[in-house]
């Protein structure tokens, strides 16, 4: 590849400056030309001095501070609006990348014009041989019905989901719109965006030569650390997303998956001994039902 396109790296962050600094250093060690990398940090109203520390340590990095919380989708949209690259690499602050990750993702996209989103292969940082979130099909489906990968694929494979890191052509946003920050401020915002991308006929591919390490706790530990605001969206967003699919899919969701999910969250709340978690989850579910009724009235 002779002509390297500009790549904008958009990183939302909230009160995790240590992990953010570590990720920025990883990016700056990348084999991709530094003059073709634009790093855009969106400090989502952190209260631990993130903005000042990152601005001081990395003067060439663009840092935007939100005066109030915009959450993940809103922060990504702000980063998108303040970026210039042909490609936008969205990555959460609790990740690390290999030196060749950006180069390999961009090379793949440059050779495959029909691909809209390239997703790196993500491993668990704490368990290096374990693939993070190895279910690569519809995130709403019950686990037994999802496709999964137990070992790294040797060649790129088409997938139906992406989470914490993904490279997108800017042109995709021109036809599909940005992230839905009102309906999906956090949790499943990528899935909602994916459905819109697929409706436009775009293709999403996992590129195994791009490697990311996700430094996040296992699910039960994440629940213990989860604030009520985030827990609120767990079932709320699922029921709204299911309805966006089709009436048939929505019926199957209500009669099969939703009862299972309710029991699952009750089990988790007992396991972590958190009534607040359970109240937030079911409050979100009721809000999701309310939103669906309003949408029906509008329709």
Domain map (residue ranges) of the chain: 7-214, 219-298
The closest alpha carbon to 54, from 79, 191, 62, belongs to 62
SS3 state at 105 = helix
CA–CA separation, 77 and 90 (whole Å): 10
**Hey, which residues does 212 pair with through a beta bridge?**
97, 122
Q: What is the DSSP letter of 126?
A: S
Label residue 69 exposed, middle or buried (CB < 10 Å: 0-12, 13-18, 19+). Answer: middle
3-state helix, strand, coil in the chain (%, to 5): 45, 20, 35
Q: What is the pLDDT along the chain (299 residues), one digit of tens a residue?
A: 779 999 999 999 999 999 999 999 999 999 999 999 999 999 999 999 999 999 999 999 999 999 999 999 999 999 999 999 999 999 999 999 999 999 999 999 999 999 999 999 999 898 888 888 766 767 776 555 566 777 889 999 999 888 899 999 999 999 999 999 989 999 899 999 998 999 899 999 999 999 999 998 765 555 555 677 888 999 999 999 999 888 898 999 999 889 988 998 898 888 877 888 899 999 999 999 998 887 665 44
To which residue do tokens 């390999």 refer? 104
- Whole-angstrom Cα distance, residue 159 to residue 238? 19
Question: Distance between CA 18 and CA 21 in Å, rounded?
Answer: 5
- Cα 18 to Cα 85: distance, rounded to the nearest angstrom: 26
DSSP letters spanning 180-210: -TTT-SSSSHHHHHHHHHHHTT-EEEEEEEE
DSSP 1-40: --SPPPEEEEEEESS-HHHHHHHHHHHHT-SS-GGGEEEE
Q: Could you tell me which residues are beta bridge partners of residue 43?
A: 13, 65
Element (H, E) at 56: helix 50-57
In 3D space, the residue among 118, 299, 82 whose CA is nearest the CA of residue 210 turns out to be 118
CATH number listed for the domain at residues 7-214: 3.90.550.10
Tell me the three state secondary structure of residue 125: coil
pLDDT tens digit sequence for 215-254: 987 655 555 556 778 889 999 999 999 998 888 989 999 9
């Amino acid at each position: 590849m002779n002509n390297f396109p500009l790549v904008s790296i958009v990183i939302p962050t909230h009160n995790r400056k240590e992990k953010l600094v570590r990720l920025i250093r990883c990016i700056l060690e990348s084999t991709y030309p530094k003059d073709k990398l634009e790093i855009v940090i969106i400090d989502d109203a952190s209260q631990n001095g993130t903005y000042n520390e990152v601005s001081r340590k990395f003067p060439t990095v663009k840092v935007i501070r939100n005066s109030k919380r915009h959450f993940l989708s809103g922060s990504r949209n702000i980063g998108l609006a303040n970026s210039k690259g042909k490609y936008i690499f969205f990555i959460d602050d609790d990740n690390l990348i290999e030196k060749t990750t950006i180069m390999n993702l961009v090379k793949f996209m440059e050779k495959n014009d029909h691909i809209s989103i390239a997703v790196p292969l993500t491993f668990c940082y704490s368990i290096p041989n374990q693939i993070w979130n190895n279910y690569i099909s519809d995130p709403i489906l019950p686990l037994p019905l999802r496709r999964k990968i137990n070992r790294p694929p040797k060649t790129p494979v088409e997938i139906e989901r992406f989470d914490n890191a993904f490279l997108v052509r800017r042109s995709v946003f021109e036809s599909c719109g940005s992230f839905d920050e009102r309906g999906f401020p956090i949790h499943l915002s990528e899935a909602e965006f994916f459905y819109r991308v697929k409706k436009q006929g775009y293709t999403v591919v996992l590129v195994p030569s791009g490697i990311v390490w996700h430094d996040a706790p296992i699910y039960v530990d994440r629940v213990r650390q989860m604030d009520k605001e985030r827990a609120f969206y767990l079932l709320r967003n699922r029921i709204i997303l299911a309805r966006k699919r089709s009436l048939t899919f929505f019926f199957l969701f209500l009669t099969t998956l939703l009862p299972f999910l309710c029991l699952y969250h009750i089990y988790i709340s007992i396991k972590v001994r958190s009534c607040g978690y359970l109240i937030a989850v079911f409050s979100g579910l009721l809000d999701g039902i309310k939103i669906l009724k309003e949408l029906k009235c509008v329709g």
